[in-house]
A and B are shown apart, each in its own frame.
Chain A
Amino acid sequence: MIGVSSGRLVLEAKGLHRNYGSIVAVGALDLSMSEGEFLTIVGPNGAGKSTLLSILSGAMRPTTGSVRVCGEELDFARYEWRHRIGMLSHQGFLYDRMTVEENLSFYGKLFGISDLEDRIASRLRRVGLSERARSEVRKLSHGMRQRASLARALLHDPDVVLLDEPYSGLDPAAAVVLRDVLEELKDGRRTVVMVTHNLREGLEMATRIAIQVGGRFEWEGSLKGALWKDFESHYHSVVEGRV
C-alpha cells in the first residue's frame, strides 16, 4: 500500500479489484494521497495502470473496493464529486468537428462553470493554443489535440488530476508545454496521478513513484534526487521479479 504523507487526504482507494473475466487487471490495491502530492505510476504493458486510472476517475466501476475523493465516496448515482476530478486520457474526449473553443465551451457548460469565457481564454493561453481556438479539432496535430485535451481536463479546476500517458506522441515543443503545465499543477493544492512509460518524465515530476506489475503496486516510494538511469535498472529488477 502507498501510504499517506502530511496534508489533507484527497484521494483514497481501498481494496480495489477489477477483473476482466478471469484476468485480474487491478488486484488488492490500496492507495492514499494527500493534497499536493504527485504520484507517477510506471509499469509494463498490461499491468493495469490505465484500468486503475479509469477506476480512480470514476469512469469505471471496480469489481470490489471503493474510492474516496476529499472524503466523498465515488457514488455512481451522484454527480457532485465529478467536479473534483480532471482526466487526460489516451483519447482527448473532444468532438472532432467542433472547434477547440466550442469543445471547451461545451464541457464548461456540463461542469456549470460561471466565468466560462475568461476561463477558456486563460486555459488556451496556458497551453499555447489561443491562436487555434477557432480551429476544428480534426485539423489539429496530435500535439495540439493533446494540449486542447489538457485545457479541457483542467477547465473546471479539479482537485485531482489524472494523466494517462500524457507525453505519448508529443513532439519536443509540445512536451515542453506539457511539462510546464504539469509543473504548475504542483502548486500544493492539487493531487496528481500520472501513468507513463517514460521513466525519465515520470521521475522528473513525481513526489512519489509506484511500479505496478500484474495489477498490484510491487514497489513504491520517493526518489527525490535520484537519477533516472539508476531508477531504470531498479525498475527492470522489480518488473522482472528480482526485487
Chain B
Amino acid sequence: MCAFAVLTGVLFNFSIDTTTVRPNEVATGLIWMTLIFGGLLGVGRTFHLESQDGALQGILMSPAPKDAIFLGKLIANFVLLYVVSLLVLGVFGLFFGIDLGRNFGWVVFVLAIGSLGFVAVGTLFAAVAAGTHLRETLLPVLVFPLMVPMVIYGVGAMMPLVSGRPFTEVEGNVRMLGAFALAGVAAGAVLFRYVVED
C-alpha cells in the first residue's frame, strides 16, 4: 500500500502539467482517489489470513462477539490506512508543492475521518467479498458507489484547507464526512454478523 501510494504520487506528478492547472485544486482530488485505490488493496486483504484453513469459521464459532471482531479488523485497517494517508499527503505535498501551513492539523484531521469512513465500509464489504469466489474483483464494485459521499465531502473539506482558507468555511463538509464515518462504523458493527453467519 505504501509503495502504491508513493508510485501513484510520482506518476500523477508526471501526468499533470502544473503550469496549466492549479496544483492545489488537482492534488486534493488525486489524494482522495489514491487513498481509495490504495485503501482497497489493504481492506481487500482484511480476511486473507482467516480465509486459509477456515480460521474465520474458527473465530466465528468462539464466544467473541461478532461486532468486536468487526471493530478489531476496522481498527487494524484504520491504523494502516491512516499511516498511508499521511504518506500520500507527504508525497503529493512534495510533488505538487502544497503548502499546508497553518491548516496542517485540520487536513490530517479530515484525512483521519475520511480514512475511518472508508475502512468502515471497506471492512464490511471485504467480509461480503471473502465469502465469494470473486473476492478482490467484487470489492471495488461494492465499495466504489458508496465512496461518492466521502469523495464529495472529503475533497470539499480539504481543497479550501490546502488553499489556506479557515476551517469554519469547511465545517459543514467535515460534519458530513464525520456523519458518513460514524454511520459506516455503526452499520458495519450491526450488519457484520449477518454478513458472516451462514
Give the interface of A toward B (CB within 8 A): 54, 57-61, 76, 79-80, 82-83, 85, 87, 89-97, 107, 110-112, 137, 145, 152
Contacts and interface: CB of A to CB of B under 8 A. Distances in A.
A97 B54 contact: no
A99 to B, nearest CB: 14
A79 B57 CA distance: 15
A91 B55 CA distance: 8
B53 to A, nearest CB: 5
Contact of B62 (A61, A92, A111): A111
A11 B50 CA distance: 29
Given A61-B197, A107-B58, A79 B52 contact: no
A79 B198 contact: no
Nearest to A93: B58
A242 to B, nearest CB: 35
Contact of B55 (A59, A76, A87, A95): A95
B61 interface: yes
8 contacts: A59-B61, A59-B198, A79-B63, A93-B54, A95-B50, A95-B52, A96-B49, A112-B63
B63 A82 contact: yes
Interface in B62-92: 62-65
Given A61-B197, A61-B198, A93-B58, A83 B53 contact: no
A91 B57 contact: yes
Chain B interface SS verdict (over half): helix
Contact of B53 (A58, A60, A92): A92
B198 A58 contact: no
Nearest to B50: A95
B49 A95 contact: yes
B49 A79 contact: no
Given A54-B198, A76-B193, A59 B57 contact: yes
Contact of B54 (A79, A91, A111, A112): A91
B53 A91 contact: yes
Interface residues of B, number: 18
B49 A83 contact: no
A206 B53 CA distance: 28
A79 B58 contact: no
Contact of B58 (A54, A80, A152): A152
A60 B198 contact: yes
A89 B57 contact: yes
B62 A110 contact: yes
B63 A110 contact: yes
A97 B63 contact: no
B7 interface: no
Contact of A89 (B49, B54, B65, B198): B54
A110 B53 contact: no
A59 B59 CA distance: 10
A95 B54 CA distance: 9
B99 to A, nearest CB: 44
Nearest to A76: B197
B63 to A, nearest CB: 4
B52 A96 contact: yes
A1 B53 CA distance: 34
Nearest to B59: A110
What 8 A-B pairs come out closest when comparing CB atoms? A93-B58, A91-B54, A110-B62, A79-B63, A60-B198, A82-B63, A110-B64, A92-B53
Contact of A82 (B54, B62, B197): B62
A60 B60 CA distance: 10
